[in-house]
A and B are shown apart, each in its own frame.
Chain A
Amino acid sequence: MLVGVTALIFFVLRALPGNPVVLLTQGDPGITQAQIRHIEDNYGLNKPLLVQYGTFIWHALQGNFGVSYLTKEPVMSSIGAQAGATVELTAAAVVLTGVIGIGGGLLAAMFRDTWVDSSLRVLSLFGSAMPLFWTGVLLILVFSFTWRLFPSSGSGTFSELVLPAFSLALAGSGLLVRLVRNSMLDVMGQEFVTALRAKGLPEYQVLVRHVLRNALVPAVTVLGVQIGALLAGAVVTETVFTRQGLGSMLVQAVQNKDYPTVQALVLIIATVYVIVNILVDISYAYLDPRVRTTLTK
């Protein structure tokens, strides 16, 4: 899958109109044809595409993603400098998504068919239906312009993290709330829940220790998919909140046809996505002993 992603991005980038040499020469109009050819030689841009791709893969396997056309610095070191802010944002958003999604789902299931359930239904519909940039703008309008609670931009302090993390989490948790609610209601229809009540367990123990735990099995799959969406969302969110990070870096690199940076970023994002999904599969086995049994067989 990673190979597919690199190939796709490699060739799509090169099929787009525009020429990286313009960037490399900062659009200098007095440049000669010979100079262009010289630059292309240096960066290997005049070799056949397949050869270029092979070189890219070969270097990438050694951890070398080349030098940015824009900053002339090694791509990996710029990425290293920017990664912290993005990791911070996505980690905060994942935790918030989990808390809002699972907590909201639990509440909706506990108070099903009451006003709690219906308001959560409306909220989660808004959360998942609104485009991410719109949620972000809305949060900025309400919480930084009207109420002046949190800053609308920047990255570094905790209060600057709150709004972007929330806007990301709201988009992802809407679906999760519905899913956790519905799968909890499914589980609550099963005989063992009646058996637990017949055992005299208090209702909150029945719900949290048993029903929720069973309901998390399907919810975790969705959380895994949501993390992919979250990585994509980070790009938008970082732009809306003018934060530093890999998202902003990617947008800039694409706009400037900075091939090495784009390729490295896409590869990293795809790798993270694959790792997350492997972790999801592992957590399955943790949550559901039946999966564990089939795995060990």
Chain B
Amino acid sequence: MTELLEVEGLTVKFESAAHHLELVRDASFEIGTGEVVAMVGESGSGKSITARAILGLLRRNHRMTVEGNARLAGRELLALAEAEMREVRGRRVSMIFQDPVGALDPVVSIGAQVLEAVRRRRSGTRPEQRRRVIELLASVGITDPELRAKQFPHEVSGGMCQRALIAIALAGSPELLIADEPTTALDVTVQAQVLDLLKRLRDERQMSVLLITHDMGVAAQTADRVLIMYAGSLVEQGPTADIFGHPCHPYTGGLISAVPRVDAPRSRRLVAIPGSVPEAADRPAGCAFHPRCPLADDRCATAMPGPRRLGNQIAACHRAEEARDSQVHRWQAGPGGGGAGRLPEERAAL
């Protein structure tokens, strides 16, 4: 598989009078052509900041600086002038958002917002462009697109808005779609429909997808590869089956045990990792995860682990081998956790 996006050493700094923070720290990953890559981490990990940095959407914020490289088909994005970056946005890389209703202009009709994206290609007559709007709306599974085009965001459901946003994102036939928690605000049935739609689009258009989520279940259902982000750093990455089969970072294990499970006994259906992600200003020394980590030792509290390769995976953990071998997430899930470990592999095989 050829790599479409190569991110290397991506660092996002935030400067204010009180703080000098690294919201994202030295993140490196690739996305292949036609590949769905999930980026998973609890809220506040730095996922959205990473996505926005790639699209140059942090440039207006004078307090943020973005360092490192992000190459799209070999072309460096982060060094592009704003006008060139604008040509990339919506045409080569598109983005959809967590709150679909809030990501649409409330006072402009849905059709007009799709039309605006269609017009950016500067081709076709007005009637042709209008027809294209209806086609796009229909292609993302919106029934009665003529009517929907005339409606406003507040008049339709969240799922419908997310479909409209996907239509907008597709208008420029991008090679990469960044989906930032696209289903978090939607209810479960709609969530499954939207994920199916994304997978279908990937198959039909050979489009790559960076799917950001805080839900390992979503990653298991959808992704070819998984990136795990914690406190601004990528702590683990690898093929979905490997990540779920033998996670090499205790945080990954914790995320897997936190997936709600229908088959598990009620008592251990959902095991959240104790504690929460530290704000960028309050990150502890050493490994940022060590205060919450069941395997942490003295070294973890002082030295920050660098990424290491273990088989198909890359993990940033001093005790990655122990984590992999002890399968810490199984005992985190409670006694007799052997069964709990099986399901993710089944999911990954789906």
Contacts and interface: CB of A to CB of B under 8 A. Distances in A.
Contacts of A214: 105-107
Interface string B101-143: 0111111110000001100100000000000000000000000
B155 interface: yes
B328 interface: no
Given A192-B102, A195-B165, A199-B168, 11 more contacts: A192-B106, A194-B103, A198-B90, A198-B95, A200-B88, A209-B108, A210-B105, A214-B106, A290-B107, A290-B152, A293-B152
A200 B106 contact: no
B267 to A, nearest CB: 39
A191 interface: yes
Contacts of A289: 106-107, 109, 152, 154-155
Q: Which 4 pairs across A and B sit closest by C-beta, in order of nearness?
A: A200-B90, A200-B89, A195-B103, A289-B152
Nearest to A193: B105
Contact of B120 (A191, A194, A200, A209): A200
Interface residues of B, number: 31
Contact of A195 (B86, B95, B152, B172): B95
Contacts of B102: 190-192
A99 to B, nearest CB: 21
Nearest to B91: A200
A239 to B, nearest CB: 42
Contacts of B107: 213-214, 217, 287-290
Task: Select the residue from B107, B165, B168 with max chain A CB neighbours within 10 A.
Answer: B107
B57 A197 contact: yes
B99 interface: yes
Nearest to A199: B90
A201 B116 CA distance: 8
B107 to A, nearest CB: 6
Interface string B30-63: 0000000000000000000000100101000000
B203 interface: no
Contacts of A217: 107
A192 B120 contact: no
22 contacts: A190-B102, A195-B95, A195-B103, A196-B105, A197-B89, A198-B90, A199-B90, A199-B116, A200-B89, A200-B120, A200-B172, A201-B86, A201-B120, A202-B86, A214-B107, A217-B107, A288-B106, A288-B107, A289-B109, A290-B152, A293-B152, A293-B154
A200 B105 contact: no
B97 interface: yes
Interface of B: 52, 55, 57, 86-91, 94-95, 97, 99, 102-109, 116-117, 120, 152, 154-155, 165, 168-169, 172
Contacts of B117: 199
A217 B106 CA distance: 12
A288 to B, nearest CB: 6
Contacts of B106: 192, 214, 288-290
Nearest to A294: B154
Interface string A203-236: 0000001100110010000000000000000000
A198 B94 contact: yes
A193 to B, nearest CB: 8
Contacts of A191: 97, 99, 102-103
Nearest to B168: A199
B105 A293 contact: no
B140 to A, nearest CB: 15
A192 B103 contact: yes
Task: Select the residue from B95, B97, B105, B116 with max chain A CB neighbours within 10 A.
Answer: B105
A79 B258 CA distance: 78
A189 to B, nearest CB: 11
A21 B103 CA distance: 70
A131 to B, nearest CB: 37
Nearest to B88: A200
A287 B106 CA distance: 10
Contacts of B103: 191-192, 194-195
A213 B116 CA distance: 16
